[in-house]
């Protein structure tokens, strides 16, 4: 299978996670200037297990967030802890998953941020589901949505259940 | 209609403890309501994680070490049969006996026969996940043999008629007040004024265990590593109980899963840097790689002194002296179980360099 391996390696070589593409390939170091990113909110950031441990993204995602105009990034306590989703884990071990999520959402609330950002939509779906049911009005947003938010076209921040939450851009 | 098998093959590997009486999700649902347990776990795991991050951060090549460990294990899997046969040949050449067991039941039967042959009804144990998985203690108990755990946390679990909750920190679910209560209730001859001060608890366990070490004729251990090219076994521990078990009794039975094989002694260099730091956030000591260990790097409280661990700067005694991690490489040894009449396992850490034959001190 050496030929197949070669092809796999070739595809792998040009496959990037979004923040890798932006930072490493496209050289985005200042999203405010280079992309016009604007998001005037207090944001905390969940790094996600596979971004952190598998892809080893390091500071790429948080660095991009810090470069967004108007955005205040606050540290998430125990950020490296899993949110409890883990794909089918959340179905097979729903109670443990929910307990882990409770720790995660408590940490998010403790930051006082109005938005929890991340680079992994599965985690954000899980966390957003928890936050909306706790009625805290903390929204979840993908990194891409925040980077795409500009002064001309600001992101509409909505709760996971579709309800508009308190951080809607004024 | 054909069925597709998902997951592990359906072969039941003997009875043992591999299949819990209760499904994990239902046990979890109940225990999640135990707030004391959750508090204990939260406290203990965050402490250990913090310690681990501290000590792994000291090594600039930590990620490379992990990759090296992973590559070694993958390479071992690719030539497992050959390595196991070479391990068996080298153990046998050094006077050990290797028994092969297909499943938990067979392993337990072999172990029981070996203990029976020594005519004893008590054995001491080094902490071992393999014996936990096969349910060895329970099996031996059914056959009139008491297996005494000598690892502090396993002792707590055993005295409390409990089950270990974590492979590295079996009593992580108990706080020290609960430990004190267990000792007061279950430890013969314990000081009734025992407090929950960690040192007092450790000393109580120490004097309780000392009598067992001195009287036991048979010890049973697991193995962290089995070295194919020499037949050596390595047990990594941090309390000293392991060394007592491996040295004092006349017969040592080691229960080892076939995946514990490493090809050569020098491969330990990678794993002995990874294991103590990654498991419980402890450093292997002394910390020097290659070349003679400097007197400063020797732990005066430890008879094990060598040079095969980390690139970290030589630590001060206060940083690493409190609970030194030591590796005992016992040779000869066996895959499943070994029995010898003479004092058999001479635990030793090889002198520098790490490649030296592990059997040099065997009588």
The pLDDT score that the predictor gives to residue B306 is 29
Decide if A95 touches B, using CB distance below 8 A: yes
From CA B270, how far away is CA A170, in angstroms rounded?
56
Q: Rounded to whole angstroms, what are the CA distances from B89 to B97, B227, B231, B289, B336?
A: 10, 11, 8, 30, 14
Decide if B27 touches A, using CB distance below 8 A: no
Confidence tier at A157 by pLDDT (50, 70, 90): confident
- Quickly tell me which residue has 């998430």 as its tokens: A76
Cβ–Cβ < 8 Å for B226, B256: yes
Q: Which of A24-28, A67-71, B239-243 has the lowest mean pLDDT?
A: B239-243
Cβ–Cβ < 8 Å for B263, B71: no
Residue of B nearest to A95 (CA): B29
Q: Which of A54, A58, A81, A96 to mutate to test the interface with B (most CBs of B within 10 A)?
A: A96
- Which residues on chain A are in Cβ contact (under 8 Å) with B32? 95-96, 99
Residue of B nearest to A94 (CA): B25
Q: Is A29's pLDDT higher than 50?
A: yes
Decide if A34 touches B, using CB distance below 8 A: no
Q: How many CB pairs under 8 A join A and B?
A: 16
Q: Which of B23, B28, B53, B56 to mutate to test the interface with A (most CBs of A within 10 A)?
A: B28
From CA B256, how far away is CA B337, in angstroms rounded?
8
Q: How far is B322 from chain A (nearest CA, A)?
A: 28
Cβ–Cβ < 8 Å for A46, A117: yes
Decide if B32 touches A, using CB distance below 8 A: yes
Q: How far is A10 from chain B (nearest CA, A)?
A: 22
* Whether the model pTM is above 0.80: no
Decide if B202 touches A, using CB distance below 8 A: no
Q: B122: cis peptide before it, omega within 30°?
A: no
Q: How far is A93 from chain B (nearest CA, A)?
A: 5
Q: How far is B52 from chain A (nearest CA, A)?
A: 13
- Which residues on chain A are in Cβ contact (under 8 Å) with B24? 93
Decide if B33 touches A, using CB distance below 8 A: no
DSSP SS3 for B140: helix
Shortest CB distance from B24 goes to which of A56, A78, A93? Answer: A93
Q: How far is B27 from chain A (nearest CA, A)?
A: 10
Q: Is B25 within 8 Å of A92 when comparing Cβ atoms?
A: yes
% of chain A with per-residue pLDDT over 70: 92
Q: Is A92 within 8 Å of B38 when comparing Cβ atoms?
A: no
Q: Is A95 within 8 Å of B24 when comparing Cβ atoms?
A: no
How do the pLDDT tens digits run along chain B, 363 residues long? 556 656 655 555 566 776 677 888 999 999 999 998 899 888 888 899 999 999 999 999 999 999 999 999 999 999 999 999 999 999 999 999 999 999 899 999 999 999 999 999 999 999 999 999 999 999 999 999 999 999 999 999 999 999 888 888 899 888 999 999 999 999 998 999 999 999 999 999 999 999 889 999 999 999 999 999 999 999 998 888 999 998 889 999 999 999 999 999 999 999 999 999 998 898 876 443 333 333 333 333 333 322 222 233 333 222 222 333 445 544 433 333 333 333 333 333 333 333 333 333 333
The pLDDT score that the predictor gives to residue B293 is 33
Q: Is A99 within 8 Å of B32 when comparing Cβ atoms?
A: yes
Q: How far is A95 from chain B (nearest CA, A)?
A: 6
Decide if B24 touches A, using CB distance below 8 A: yes
> Which class for B38: exposed (0-12), middle (13-18), buried (19 or more C-beta within 10 A)?
middle
The pLDDT score that the predictor gives to residue B10 is 53
Shortest CB distance from A96 goes to which of B28, B46, B63? Answer: B28
- Which residues on chain A are in Cβ contact (under 8 Å) with B25? 92-96
From CA B352, how far away is CA B307, in angstroms rounded?
6
Residue of A nearest to B50 (CA): A78
Closest CA to A103 of B173, B45, B178: B45
From CA A35, how far away is CA A29, in angstroms rounded?
10
Q: Is B38 within 8 Å of A95 when comparing Cβ atoms?
A: no
Closest CA to B245 of B116, B93, B122: B122
Shortest CB distance from B25 goes to which of A56, A78, A95? Answer: A95
The pLDDT score that the predictor gives to residue A88 is 93
């Amino acid at each position: 299978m050496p030929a197949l391996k070669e092809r796999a390696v070739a595809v792998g070589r040009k496959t990037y996670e979004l923040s890798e593409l932006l930072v490493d390939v496209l050289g985005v170091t200042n999203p405010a200037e280079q992309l016009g990113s604007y998001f005037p909110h207090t944001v905390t950031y969940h790094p996600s297990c596979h971004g952190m441990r598998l892809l080893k993204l390091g500071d790429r995602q948080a660095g991009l967030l810090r470069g967004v105009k108007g955005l205040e990034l606050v540290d998430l306590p125990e950020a490296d802890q899993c949110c409890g989703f883990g794909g089918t884990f959340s179905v097979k071990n729903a109670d443990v998953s929910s307990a882990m999520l409770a720790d995660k959402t408590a940490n998010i609330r403790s930051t006082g941020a109005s938005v929890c950002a991340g680079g992994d939509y599965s985690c954000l779906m899980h966390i957003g589901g928890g936050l909306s049911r706790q009625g805290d009005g903390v929204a979840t947003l993908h990194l891409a949505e925040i980077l795409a938010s500009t002064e001309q076209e600001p992101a509409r921040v909505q709760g996971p259940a579709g309800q508009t939450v308190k951080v809607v851009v004024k | 209609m054909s069925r597709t098998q998902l997951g592990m093959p359906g072969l039941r590997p003997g009875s043992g403890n591999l299949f819990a009486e209760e499904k994990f999700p239902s046990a979890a649902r109940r225990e999640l309501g135990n707030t004391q347990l959750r508090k204990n776990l939260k406290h203990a795991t965050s402490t250990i994680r913090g310690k681990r991050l501290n000590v792994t951060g000291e090594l600039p090549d930590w990620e490379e070490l992990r990759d090296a460990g992973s590559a070694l294990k993958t390479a071992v899997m690719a030539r497992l049969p050959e390595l196991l046969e070479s391990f068996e040949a080298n153990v046998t050449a050094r006077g050990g006996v290797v028994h092969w067991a297909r499943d938990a039941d067979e392993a337990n039967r072999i172990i029981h026969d070996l203990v029976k042959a020594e005519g004893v009804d008590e054995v001491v144990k080094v902490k071992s996940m393999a014996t936990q998985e096969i349910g060895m203690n329970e099996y031996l108990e059914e056959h009139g043999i008491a297996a005494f755990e000598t690892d502090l946390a396993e002792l707590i679990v055993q005295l409390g008629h409990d089950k270990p909750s974590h492979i590295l920190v079996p009593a992580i679910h108990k706080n020290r007040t609960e430990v004190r209560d267990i000792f007061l209730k279950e430890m013969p001859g314990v000081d009734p004024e025992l407090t929950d001060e960690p040192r007092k608890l450790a000393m109580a366990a120490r004097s309780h265990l000392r009598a067992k070490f001195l009287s036991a004729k048979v010890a049973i251990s697991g193995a962290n590593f089995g070295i194919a090219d020499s037949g050596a076994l390595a047990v990594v521990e941090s309390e000293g109980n392991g060394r007592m078990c491996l040295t004092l009794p006349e017969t040592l039975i080691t229960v080892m899963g076939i995946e514990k094989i490493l090809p050569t002694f020098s491969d330990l260099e990678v794993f002995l840097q990874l294991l103590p730091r990654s498991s419980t956030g402890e450093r292997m000591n002394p910390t020097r790689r290659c070349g003679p260990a400097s007197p400063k790097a020797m732990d005066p409280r430890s008879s094990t002194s060598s040079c095969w661990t980390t690139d970290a700067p030589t630590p001060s005694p206060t940083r690493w002296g409190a609970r030194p991690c030591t590796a005992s490489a016992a040779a000869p040894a066996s895959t499943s179980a070994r029995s010898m009449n003479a004092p058999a396992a001479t635990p030793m850490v090889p002198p520098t360099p790490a490649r030296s034959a592990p059997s040099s001190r065997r009588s």
